[in-house]
């Protein structure tokens, strides 16, 4: 099937073009037409009305939405979360787990595999899984359940990876004494990421030599910057190659920290994430998060026991609006942090660019960065 998205402002990595049009053939972008071009005849035409057309967002860290958590491990949970992500402009996401039992993870992985195989029920794509925990430091537990924390176990990774593909694992590097776990993840094509960790800069440096590539929800639940030990926060700012995840809700990172990250880090090494949890999209209430009681109030979720932050709730599209307003950087640069950087790191080829040959995963945004329409492989989902 052929389609034309006409009269749009295309914003893609290194491209910002008003009055442009996008020709789609099947699942892929066939051609880009500039303002003065003669447009082709297609089976379907969508008039964007001058609105922005951006590559579909790729959220590599999202746990849930609309009252469901990924680790519920049911078809209904996975399908509901995927449908909610589409409304945020997220066309692909890594289903992200909590620190829980292997039995629970096995059930969850099976549900994700069913979703991946059933094209009839698919909305947003789930190319793989982000395993956050259970191999974390209990001293930096955050909103994870301490009852399920365990040592890094490459055999458990192997068992789970046979059910559905793991693409990223977040763990505390200091719990991996000889860094053998880090090396094994890399050898399996899995991105090793440090999270919920009190690692020193020297431990970070040693892990980098073994292949550590990524820092999960940067600044949150990791050793802070200090003038006598720069910790993981200092390491992430100093290392130009390591990818940092940024929760740009202005709560997990204050506005000045967001500005600092975008000023210091190369734009290609920042991945905007939602870290959304099951209360995302719902009104203020109390919830159970992996066995822990949490309270949602004014779009902020905290543990009932100690007030610790317990995940994000804002829609992904609002994070883009936040970084545009806070940084002042060109949109064609910032848009790299909402999909392209993630696609490159994960080896997702032909994703997150509006360019011929790339998947037609496209979001039409209004002036307030709210999705008006969402296309996945040229198929309109919103």
Pairing between strand 214-215 and 191-194? parallel
The pair of structure tokens assigned to 357 is: 């040959």
Q: Is the pLDDT score of 308 beyond 90?
A: no
| pLDDT at site 156 | 98
Go through 316-348 and write b for each residue having 16 or more CB atoms within 10 A of its CB, e for each that does not: bbbbbbbbeebbeeebbebbbbbbbbbbebbeb
State how far the Cα of 5 lies from the Cα of 42, in Å rounded to an integer.
Answer: 10
Q: Are strands 362-365 and 52-55 parallel, antiparallel or unpaired?
A: antiparallel
CA proximity to 137, closest of 101, 96, 177: 177
| Domain annotation for the chain: domains and CATH numbers | 2-54+353-380 (2.30.40.10), 57-346 (3.20.20.140)
Q: 297 has which bridge partners?
A: 300
More confident residue, 284 or 64: 64
Tell me whether the omega of the peptide bond preceding residue 134 falls within 30 degrees of 0, making it cis.
Answer: yes
pLDDT, tens digit, for every residue of 54-68? 999 999 999 999 999
8-44 tens-digit pLDDT: 999 999 999 999 999 999 999 999 999 989 999 999 9
pTM higher than 0.95 for the full model? yes
């Amino acid at each position: 099937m052929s389609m034309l998205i006409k009269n749009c402002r295309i914003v893609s990595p290194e491209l910002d073009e008003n009055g442009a049009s996008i020709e789609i053939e099947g699942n892929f972008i066939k051609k880009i037409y500039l303002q003065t071009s003669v447009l082709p005849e297609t089976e379907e035409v969508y008039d964007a009305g001058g609105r922005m057309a951006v590559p579909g967002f790729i959220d590599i860290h999202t746990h849930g939405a609309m009252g469901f958590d990924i680790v519920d491990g049911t078809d209904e949970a996975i399908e509901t979360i995927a449908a909610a992500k589409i409304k945020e402009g997220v066309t692909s996401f890594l289903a992200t787990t909590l620190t829980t039992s292997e039995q629970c993870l096995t059930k969850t992985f099976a549900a994700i595999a069913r979703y991946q195989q059933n094209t009839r029920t698919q909305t947003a794509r789930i190319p793989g899984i982000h395993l956050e925990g259970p191999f974390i430091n209990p001293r930096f537990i955050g909103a994870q359940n301490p009852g399920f924390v365990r040592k890094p176990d490459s055999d458990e990774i192997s068992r789970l990876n046979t059910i559905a593909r793991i693409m990223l694992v977040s763990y505390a590097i200091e719990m991996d004494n000889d860094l053998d776990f880090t090396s094994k993840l890399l050898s399996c094509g899995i991105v090793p990421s440090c999270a919920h960790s009190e690692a020193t800069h020297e431990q970070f440096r040693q892990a980098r030599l073994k292949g550590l590539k990524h820092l999960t929800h940067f600044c949150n639940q990791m050793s802070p910057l200090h003038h006598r030990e720069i910790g993981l926060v200092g390491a992430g700012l100093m290392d130009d190659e390591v990818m940092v995840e940024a929760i740009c809700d202005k709560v997990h990172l204050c506005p000045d920290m967001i500005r600092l990250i975008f000023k210091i880090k190369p734009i290609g090494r920042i991945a905007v994430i939602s870290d959304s949890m099951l209360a995302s999209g719902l009104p203020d209430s109390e919830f159970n998060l992996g066995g822990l009681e949490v309270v949602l109030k004014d779009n902020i979720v905290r543990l009932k026991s100690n007030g610790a932050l317990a995940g994000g709730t804002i829609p992904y599209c609002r994070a883009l609006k936040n970084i545009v307003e806070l940084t002042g950087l060109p949109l064609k640069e910032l848009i790299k942090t909402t999909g392209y950087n993630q696609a490159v790191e994960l080896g997702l080829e032909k994703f997150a660019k509006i360019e011929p040959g790339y998947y037609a995963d496209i979001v039409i945004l209004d002036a307030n960065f709210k999705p008006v329409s969402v296309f996945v492989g040229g198929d309109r989902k919103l």
